[in-house]
Structure 1
């Protein structure tokens, strides 16, 4: 499932969880309790994803985690923790052996079964919902030999867990996205045990399946901090921030946590220009505000201070995407109240203005407005194409214009429309290839021996009419995901200069993880590499012609990135 499909479904899916009396008031974890829950997080994920019994495959893992988290937390010693793990996991994994010791004894695999098929789990990414590009199955063990995994779980507990079992090969059937959302919302969002279970479940999925864990922050430390914070969170809104800080450790531009999203935001466009927050668009009825003004304070708080408060909650692979997302977050008004903006007008006068919140539909419509008409000519014979505004009708009516153009400026600074991809088929007389989209194939835990299925790239044979004019691509720090598939194709095929700023550095189909309480975590589920095999994540597409908008240029009504691109497309620069 791609980013746009999931995010389009979010408004209808993100309804409030049913409130219920919490089973236990928020309180801090003891050192023993934290060690117990850390071991629980590790063991639960190992059994869930790598112990191939019928019972484990059929388990409702959210129910298991919520039901047992408090009992596990309360264990007073390694021996007591082993006893509680036995009660939880023995019905699912009868061959699992647990020890009240930091390390297990040497593994001695059982003899191969005399009859039947020995199977193991094989995951093509994390199979969390269906339909999805990610799936899992129990497959026959190629050499027929049993395998046993030694596990040091923490808390003075260890285990020997078989990763093979005598069972029938079978595909895993994940729930639909709607069913997963309904099940998640059945748990009260304000309960302490639900918060702890959600951290445990999220950590396990991301530990074994996030394809860039090698570039993330300290993920074990994120589990510890997540558990400590979750235990103290008084309600769902506070816990959402705990999850957001935890997910931010991944450094994943797709990473996000959704829960009762703010229904309103500020109807204003703004950008970070020359290290200042500059108003770039306003609704027609805005009062006491001017396009080109610099905002220095919001509700009496310095803008830089507000950004510093937001940054730890934002998941980003690059500084440019972090800034792009933080400016969006500045627009949020969860309580729907007006904001008081202060700053300096273009002519140097101080201003104070109140701006009423508006529905997000209004905010998004303002953000998508452009002063430049699509398919207009910024220079004679040079056609400007905003990829975000390309329609199916354009593919029928604009082909002759583009084929006759002496230059084409392709604006990839937004999120391209679906039809925009078809333009790639007309940019060359040879077959084009996109970046490499690679699903992780996981058969062992902890990121060991992961291989990647590299058969997912776009292949675009040339179509008529051909666009022979000079091609230029515009990019920015807000260009992410599908926009980077476009830019990565352009870069890898060397179709022309790339003008503007580096892109977000995050691409690949996203994966939705619904957690008890109605919290939705979204993360990148596959690896994307550039055509030459080099890293894209955390790097992005680097422009060949770096250009930044200046404040003076913006106030003069100039789009300096577009101007440079048009000059290159015209052959004048």
Structure 2
């Protein structure tokens, strides 16, 4: 019996060792090993080799490998060609800053032999310590935003998605981006699901993306997986149309999501032949026969957003785009669902009207409201205007600061009027390029303060999902001033100077390149800046043309004569 058990155990073990690998398993192992060597190996990180071409050369051998022994032999030969790695005398391994670090794949016994595992893990403690070529970190005055400018765009590949010969270029795009996020995205730990799963999910998608439209769609799916509203997509060829497979025709009105309902907020122009029943406050239940919730879920995988509020904020513009010049809208009218036909128009005809839809355009730079209440529009306030705007407002009973927009870099000047103490309000983390995948934490940054008497009235800051990035940073700063109230809805949850990643085909995409936290370590990414008083607009308020967030702030001011701060 004992002999039979040993024989069976041997057969099971031998079968396991000889188990074939899928194409996706092999390509995922290549993506991880190629990226690890790119940033860790002393013969690769300085940029002396064309590492993109090395990937192209490895692809056929990796795809032909029958099992892990054959695959490990391919990788072992690569390490042999790179040469021996000397022992590192100055490669400290600190426990701090390793929240994002994930090198467990180096010990993956399913794809790597024990010998190869040992050779790879050796590099962790003996990694490259010089100036890396593929990623740079500018001086502190540049905000520690990472640069990947040495990566090639391959923009002359006008249609990188066409034809089977382009598959290596598409895989290069996936592998490059995956590794940038793997080692340099400060919020990788906060993404939905496992970052490793992104490779196995999207390798088939990129391999099958044999048209330009499909390649674009694959890129959008990839960037959406980091759950970061900073993940913009551009192409150096400004004539290249993005997302045009969705259509090039837009609905002639502004809409927003309120309690997950799509509500019209403003018609762009009465001359655009919009049916009179479609007015501010109209609730749209379906577009072209597709219910709004189903349409949201269909488009969700292609939208990069830090949180649900930011997703719906961006979808409100795209959800009605189509190819048909006429859209069939199912709306709620007189208590029942009604189908109306609404013409769509090319974006250039609507662009100026769309730009005018933001809160920054609806209000002046500053104004006096009733009862000696001052108002400042941060979306319009410029640096030269700060003193002329803020000095008179020092006499205001209360001050409303509107951040439902994107400010113009005036925080440091305006904060001098709000506090006479150097208040800490933010802590940054930045990538440690000497240990890729780890991050160093900076000391808290303090607000510049006034040497004299600062403003002592009530201070209320208005925020919503339009409040993103610099606007969120500004809201954090104002919140640090004792007694300040934030009113509105949670912000977009995307903070930190952005870094751009070039991708084959002339594309480039961004991500939040530094970590931004409250001084005590609390999160802002994806969470957003959560207001003290939650207020969201309503369809009834929109129909009446009211700004319910501003109204609630004024009510809070009137509630008591005691200062809020």
Instruction: Quote how far apart the aligned CAs of 1:430 are.
Output: 1.8
Q: How does 1:46-445 map to 2 (within 5 A)?
A: 46-53=36-43, 57-86=47-76, 88-91=78-81, 93-95=82-84, 151-152=107-108, 154-157=110-113, 158-159=116-117, 160-161=119-120, 162-163=122-123, 169-170=130-131, 172=133, 174=135, 183-187=153-157, 188-190=159-161, 191-216=166-191, 217-258=193-234, 260-262=241-243, 265-284=250-269, 285-287=271-273, 288=275, 289-330=278-319, 332=321, 338=325, 340-344=327-331, 350=338, 351-359=340-348, 361-362=351-352, 364-368=354-358, 370-419=361-410, 421-441=412-432, 443-444=434-435
Deviation at 1:82, TM superposition (A): 3.2
The normalised TM-score by structure 1 is 0.77
Q: Is the 8 A contact 1:492 1:532 kept in 2?
A: no
1-structure distance, mates of 2:398, 2:321: 40
Aligned CA distance change for structure 1 residues 422 and 237 (closer, same or farther; 3 Å):
farther
| Partner residue in 2 for 1:14 | none
Distance apart, 1:367 and its partner CA: 2.5
- Mapped to 2, the partners of 1:222 and 1:166 lie a distance apart of 26
Kept after mapping to 2: 8 A contact 1:320/1:478: no
Instruction: Say if 1:480 and 1:503, in contact at 8 Å, map to a contact too.
Output: yes
**Partner of 1:57: helix, strand, or coil?**
coil
In 2, Cα distance between the equivalents of 1:357 and 1:72? 47
Q: Distance in 1 between matches of 2:199 and 2:25?
A: 11
CA contact (8 A) 1:434 1:485 kept: no
Counterparts of 2:329 and 2:554, CA distance in 1: 36
Pair 1:538-2:526 in alignment: yes
User: Is the 8 Å Cα contact of residues 52 and 119 (structure 1) preserved in structure 2?
Assistant: no
Mapped to 1, the partners of 2:435 and 2:132 lie a distance apart of 18
CA-CA distance at 1:525 after TM superposition: 2.0
Q: Provide the rounded CA distance (Å) in 2 between the counterparts of 1:407 and 1:168.
A: 54
Distance 1:481 1:241, change over 3 A: same
Displacement, 1:562?
A: 0.5
Say if 2:458 and 2:484, in contact at 8 Å, map to a contact too.
Answer: yes
Partner residue of 1:32? 22
1:322 and 1:479 mapped to 2: Cα distance? 13
SS at match of 2:371: coil
1:251 is paired with a residue of what secondary structure? coil
- For 2:10, the equivalent position in structure 1 comes to none
Call closer, same or farther: CA 1:531–1:178 in 2, change over 3 Å.
closer
Following superposition, the deviation at residue 409 of structure 1 comes to 0.9
Q: Distance in 1 between matches of 2:355 and 2:214?
A: 30
Q: Following TM superposition, by how much is the alpha carbon of 1:485 offset from its aligned partner in structure 2, in angstroms?
A: 0.6
CA deviations 1:91-139 (Å, max 9, x no partner) are: 4x3137xxxxxxxxxxxxx7x5xxxx8565999xxxxxxxxxxxxxxxx
Greater alpha carbon shift after TM alignment, 320-329 vs 497-506: 320-329
Shifted more, 34-43 versus 374-383: the winner is 374-383
CA shift in 2, pair 1:429/1:458, >3 Å: closer
- 8 Å CA contact 1:426, 1:464 repeated in 2: no
TM-score (norm 2): 0.78
Shift of 1:342: 1.4
Shift in Å, 1:174? 4.9
Deviations for 1:353-402, whole angstroms, at most 9, x for unmatched residues? Answer: 11312238435423236443342334231122221111234324323332
SS of the equivalent of 1:398 reads helix
Deviations 1:292-348 (A, max 9, x none): 222233333222221111122223332222222222332556x6x645151437766
Determine the C-alpha separation between the residues in 2 that align with 1:166 and 1:557.
Answer: 61
What per-residue deviation string (whole Å, max 9, x for no partner) do you get for residues 141-167 of structure 1?
xxxxxxxx9643753443313436699
**Counterpart in 1 of 2:100?**
none
Q: Deviations for 1:207-260, whole angstroms, at most 9, x for unmatched residues?
A: 222222222211111110111211112223213322333333332232344454
Partner of 1:105: none
Could you tell me how far apart the structure 1 residues matched to 2:397 and 2:509 are?
46
Contact 1:409 1:569 in 2 (8 A): no
Give 3-state SS (helix, strand or coil) of 1:498's partner. strand
User: Contact (CA 8 Å) 2:403, 2:462: kept in 1 or not?
Assistant: yes
Contact residue 379 and residue 570 of structure 1 kept, 8 A: no
Partner of 2:32: 42
Unaligned runs of 5+ in 2: 1-19, 95-104, 137-145, 236-240
Cα distance between partner residues in 2 of 1:451 and 1:273: 38
Does residue 495 of structure 2 align to residue 525 of structure 1? no
Within-5 A mapping of 1:508-523: 508-523=496-511
Greater percentage in helix: 2
Contact 1:69 1:197 (C-alpha < 8 Å) held by counterparts? no
Quick one: distance in 1 between partners of 2:93 and 2:255?
46
Q: SS at 2:440's partner residue?
A: strand
Query: How far, CA to CA, are the matches of 1:209 and 1:168 in structure 2?
Result: 16
Separation in 2 of the partners of 1:274 and 1:166?
Answer: 51
CA distance in structure 2 between the aligned counterparts of 1:168 and 1:530, rounded to whole angstroms:
31
1:517-557 CA distance string (max 9 Å, x none): 33323222222111332222232222111112111112111
CA pair 239-570 structure 1, distance change in 2 beyond 3 A: same
Contact 1:256 1:314 survives alignment (8 Å): no
